[in-house]
Structure 1
């Protein structure tokens, strides 16, 4: 996403009005920012269409949280969310930043993440708690008392969303779900292929979001249950044989599958699907009116395969049968484990 930059503090305008509330919350914010600038530290900065700042995220490794946190944090490899602020504008940017936090935690094998938040920022607290952060302690400084929210990165808790991005293989089912190329990469931005244009990844909710909604006409998809794993398979773009052009790209975890008839109105259906779907408003309205595609699959977007796996390998090495159409099919645990290994998914994501 070209609006989201990972850059030095020295490249960021501290006089942007975006930082005014942080200066009010933290008396030493400007001095702190100056120290980070001199140290040439990096942060994520999101710029809106007017080139003004709408989001800022700073992360740092930390030994234990300091004496101001009571009770002390457990001893573990710890990632601190040093600063996070977002101007919400309806595109799920908060989820995109949450995902960046988890990306760093997984990449550098942190065992826990923590963030401090003033209780008056309830919407920010709600965002963290939705993804498994729990109020663990308090922190008292000259600026006041903050809640300390902690997320453990070593266990599953039986809730798909609170577990994100972690997942396991035990006691669940596994499926392959095909997505056409025209939808795939804008829908799943971390799974973009090397020969695709990164400009198609825009600041829209279905790109930013951790959650994805796919609408299918395949009756068999209704068998999926919360916690099942879904392997996303991008079909051929028609520029060569599917044997080489179709690829497995990502793994998600099913939240739920609903039938279109479960929505009492078009407005309810649009509210549920629009923020997380690649389909246009016109397409969604048409689906609801004509019931062309009846199954709504909601899943979390947990892992992009570092190495995409072509159909040839899926057939010959993973032993996925061609007797069943590759639009939707069941996989074995051995097959999904093979994909995770061959696709070089970070092992820190997988809890056995």
Structure 2
């Protein structure tokens, strides 16, 4: 199975004649004119993904919007920075490419200190995309030429769900959560190590999804709302001190146990599209009574990945193997700083 990839490339390298753009031509009379103008500007780029036939499957264009935005009713005007999703379309074939684009969009917003994001959609034509955006905190703001205007406010709202607040999190408890190498990169493709050049995803759907399900067999203390820093263990025959690394930040959305499911079929349905484990794997897991099923929201990858040796040197962990290891908020913040992550942008007090 070919590893999915989203490219950030100039408009001039994108084929305007690809059938993918037919619906956009129909919905926007000036689409070709707009696209051609962007193609003549080398600095103008978009996020694009392709299928195995080299046809476009997804497209997203982002830009900073100057305020006030007067062609929206009511006009948008505030003192912060506004990110506009200029064009966003994803073909739907059962995968969750839309969430991969949403992940990139939020990463760009956080990296560049945006306060709000807005997009216009034909809600009746783009029902699936609209619902997914609403799940991740976009709310109806107004109207523009027959389209619905949705806005995402990048401020944490205690009255809302983890999905709604994504990618911002509030957490009182922090854990290192160990993931074995054979599962890690297929579950967290954005956190792939540079040494994994030959790795191929085991499952397209779970790789693209922001929601991840991991199954383990230990009495973990994890609860909904805990922050999980993903700890990728080392491969066999490699030094754990230097090959075990922390790679990613997640928040625990839900924790379930074997007794929460009436049978293995119910567990299979729960994991569908969210886990790297095969049906055969899960049937095997079902035989164990210590089953724990962890639903995570993947927040971000780490630009730099501190090693087990770094954690030992700073007394964050001891020499025992890590499965689900509680750490203080102070130590968690240290890890995120060493990972070169803008912690105050993701972690809300």
Q: CA deviation at 1:262?
A: 1.4
> In the alignment, is the contact (CA less than 8 A) between 1:2 and 1:202 conserved in 2?
no
- Asked if residue 110 in structure 1 is aligned to residue 111 in structure 2, the reply is no
2:255 corresponds in structure 1 to 257
Q: Structure 1: which 5+ residue stretches go unaligned? A: none
Determine helix, strand or coil for the equivalent of 2:147: strand
Match of 2:299 among 299, 302, 306: 302
Determine helix, strand or coil for the equivalent of 2:168: coil
Determine helix, strand or coil for the equivalent of 1:330: strand
> In the alignment, is the contact (CA less than 8 A) between 2:70 and 2:76 conserved in 1?
no
Q: CA deviation at 1:103?
A: 1.3
Determine helix, strand or coil for the equivalent of 1:70: coil
Match of 1:335 among 331, 335, 344: 331
> In the alignment, is the contact (CA less than 8 A) between 1:62 and 1:78 conserved in 2?
yes
User: How far apart, CA to CA, are the structure 2 residues paired with 1:21 and 1:340?
Assistant: 42
Q: CA deviation at 1:292?
A: 6.2
Listed one character per residue, the Cα deviations across residues 143-185 of structure 1 (whole Å, up to 9, x for unaligned) are xx1111111113244421111111234xx21111111111112
User: How far apart, CA to CA, are the structure 2 residues paired with 1:86 and 1:30?
Assistant: 18
Range 76-85 or range 183-192, more displaced: 183-192
Q: CA deviation at 1:202?
A: 7.2
1:350 corresponds in structure 2 to 347
2:281 corresponds in structure 1 to 283
> In the alignment, is the contact (CA less than 8 A) between 1:156 and 1:167 conserved in 2?
no
2:194 corresponds in structure 1 to 194
Range 274-283 or range 130-139, more displaced: 274-283
Q: CA deviation at 1:203?
A: 7.1
Q: CA deviation at 1:350?
A: 2.5
Q: CA deviation at 1:231?
A: 1.4
Determine helix, strand or coil for the equivalent of 2:273: helix
Determine helix, strand or coil for the equivalent of 2:235: coil
> In the alignment, is the contact (CA less than 8 A) between 1:178 and 1:233 conserved in 2?
yes
1:207 corresponds in structure 2 to 207
> In the alignment, is the contact (CA less than 8 A) between 1:225 and 1:257 conserved in 2?
yes
User: How far apart, CA to CA, are the structure 2 residues paired with 1:63 and 1:186?
Assistant: 39
**Number of residues paired by the alignment?**
342
2:142 corresponds in structure 1 to 137
Q: CA deviation at 1:23?
A: 1.0
User: How far apart, CA to CA, are the structure 2 residues paired with 1:198 and 1:3?
Assistant: 14
User: How far apart, CA to CA, are the structure 1 residues paired with 2:238 and 2:289?
Assistant: 30
User: How far apart, CA to CA, are the structure 2 residues paired with 1:312 and 1:3?
Assistant: 32
> In the alignment, is the contact (CA less than 8 A) between 1:160 and 1:226 conserved in 2?
no
User: How far apart, CA to CA, are the structure 2 residues paired with 1:56 and 1:203?
Assistant: 22
TM-score using structure 2 length: 0.92
TM-score using structure 1 length: 0.91
> In the alignment, is the contact (CA less than 8 A) between 1:306 and 1:343 conserved in 2?
yes
Match of 1:26 among 28, 49, 53: 28
Q: Structure 2: which 5+ residue stretches go unaligned? A: none
Match of 1:313 among 296, 310, 318: 310
Listed one character per residue, the Cα deviations across residues 227-277 of structure 1 (whole Å, up to 9, x for unaligned) are 110111111213432122211111110000011231234333222213111
1:89 corresponds in structure 2 to 93
2:18 corresponds in structure 1 to 16
Match of 2:51 among 48, 51, 57: 48
Q: CA RMSD in A?
A: 1.9
> In the alignment, is the contact (CA less than 8 A) between 1:187 and 1:277 conserved in 2?
yes
